[in-house]
Amino acid sequence: MSHFIEENIYLLMAIINIVPILLLIVFAILGKIKSSPFIVFIKSIICDIILFVISLIIVLFIDLSLSMTVVLMLLLQLVYFPIIGIILLLLSMSTDTNWSINHWKKMLLTGLILLCLLIYSIIYIISH
């Protein structure tokens, strides 16, 4: 099992980070989103973080020799998290465009923070 995880860690991380996007799209299509886009964005980010932590715990409980895989998962999440955050921000803004237009400063600030986090993570990974 540990060999399977080591070989497919990139696919595993992609699936973990795609799930919140798919959930947001499904809930938007079904019309289940009733709160403001910023609250939807925060809930989606929390979902992404929870899925990532659960996957880390599962990988550690499978075999403790996968510690380097956990480090790789952390580095991948460092890059994936801002990208997924920007996608979730744009999708959540599209759920209620009137609210987003009225509160554009809050959404712009969040987008800039995620963009800065993405640039920082890319520079960190390149330098180390």
This prediction has a pTM of 0.87
For residue 29, the one-letter residue type is: I
Instruction: Return the pLDDT at 18.
Output: 94
Dihedral of alpha carbons 18, 21, 24, 25, sign: negative
Residue 46 has pLDDT above 90, yes or no: yes
Instruction: Return the pLDDT at 2.
Output: 67
Residue 6 has pLDDT above 90, yes or no: no
Contact at 8 Å (CB) between 80 and 13? yes
